[in-house]
Structure 1
Amino acid sequence: MKNIQILSGIAILALGFTSCKDEKQEKAEKTVESYVMYVDSVKNVAADDLKENWKDVEAEYDRRAANAELALADIKDNTVQTEKINNSKIKYEEFKNSMAATLAPPLTPKQQLRNALFGEGKIGEDMSFNWVNAQNIHNVYQQFVHTVENNKDSYSREDWDEIKLMYEALDSRKNTVEKEGLTSEDNRKIAGLKIKFGPIYTLNRMGAKSEEAAEAKK
């Protein structure tokens, strides 16, 4: 009789362990589903609303993603859940990349001007011209001077000051590039562009200053 009671006790204890284990696995599965649902729901939120609350969205995503990864350890056969997590990670990164332009802070007028003069993102706040070399410097000067020439009537005095700063920085880079294999042909073409730029800058910068003075008097 005593043996029967002991066996019964062991059986009940084992059943309790199984029940706890099932509850733990069920909770883990729900954690994974919660992560998957969160990613899907974020994609349905208006872009403007996401932009205003993006830090909170990212923090919540990181929390749910971490919990989902930890939950896998409590799922006996987690192949399906692992695939769900991986698929949601891909979805989220793709969505985040598609939101990049919306989430990025608006470009300052100065950065917009630099992008026009040299190309998108070529010159940032560090004003590094290390990407300019003997092979591309003629094209850089050409884009710079032609852009200035095409837009000279729309630049403000501040724009012209920025243009001069960029021009001098490019000239400084040219001094280095000349020692790194700049061809005499490209050097000659650059000299022609520099001669073209001088009068454009002088006349239009003066004109912009005069216009601002006239506006101030009004």
Structure 2
Amino acid sequence: MKSSKLFLGIAVVALGFVSCKDEKEIKAQKAVDTYVMYVDSLGNTATLDNNGNWQAIDAEYEMRSVVADSAIANLKDKIAAQERIDASRAKYAALKAKVEAEMAAKKVVVVAAVGPKQKLRNTLFGEGKVGDDMNFSWVNKDNILRVYDAFFQSYKDNKHNFSREDYDEVKVMYEGLDSRKNTVENEGLTSEDNAKIASIKFKFAPMFKINRIGAKSSEMEKAKQ
């Protein structure tokens, strides 16, 4: 009787072990299948770079790739699983190379299309922050002091390279920022930040006036020669 119970106990344990092992293999197989299907689902490159989502896609791919690699240890047919993973990995590598090449080509076109006025805006406010519409809605009570400070520092660093037309454009941009400040003041701008901005404006105004006059005089002298 005792031996029968012992045998039954061993059988239950063995069955549990096999069941656990089968469950691990099922999960492992699913991980490999999911990885392969994910790569297949990416399809063509036409929409992969839309809205700047390529980084998210690449990050998700890396995560799925790590999970698939880890799953191989729990599969009986490791060779077949590895071959499927390698095939998908090669497919993704080719896709990634194509997407990144297209992204690089787009950047070249964008850079080539940027005119002198946009280059000036990028210099003073950051890449793409201000366009032809002079929209400063991205400036708010929390960042306006940093915007003024960065504008003033960039102006000082680059003023010697500005033409008379550049100074005219700087004036328009500065007035646009000032106009936005009037709105931000009613949206909770702190008195401390407002005072610091006033200090920047106090230093900028006479400097800009002198530099602008100097640029105009320099152009007139060159025209006479």
**Superposition TM-score tier, normalisation by shorter sequence:** 0.5 to 0.7
In the TM superposition, 1:162-177 aligns within 5 A as 162-177=169-184
The TM-score with structure 1 as length reference comes to 0.58
Matches of 2:221 and 2:176, distance apart in 1: 31
Q: Return the match for 1:184 from 174, 181, 191.
A: 191
In the TM superposition, 1:1-218 aligns within 5 A as 89-106=95-112, 107-218=114-225
Secondary structure in 2 matching 1:164: helix
Secondary structure in 1 matching 2:183: helix
Instruction: Write out per-residue CA displacement over residues 94-118 of structure 1, whole angstroms, 9 at most, x where no aligned residue.
Output: 2211323323242211111111100
Matches of 2:218 and 2:116, distance apart in 1: 19
Matches of 2:135 and 2:217, distance apart in 1: 32
Give aligned-pair identity as a percent: 51
Matches of 1:148 and 1:126, distance apart in 2: 21
Alignment match, 1:52: none
Cα distance, 1:91–1:185 mapped onto 2, change above 3 Å: same
Aligned residues: 140
Give ranges in structure 1 of 5+ residues lacking alignment: 1-38, 40-78
Matches of 1:108 and 1:94, distance apart in 2: 25
Q: Displacement of 1:93 after TM fit?
A: 1.6
Of stretches 201-210 and 93-102 in structure 1, the one that deviates more from structure 2 is 93-102
Matches of 1:86 and 1:148, distance apart in 2: 45
Give ranges in structure 2 of 5+ residues lacking alignment: 1-44, 46-83
Secondary structure in 2 matching 1:166: helix
8 A Cα contact 1:142 1:193, kept in partner = yes
Matches of 1:186 and 1:110, distance apart in 2: 29
Matches of 2:116 and 2:109, distance apart in 1: 18
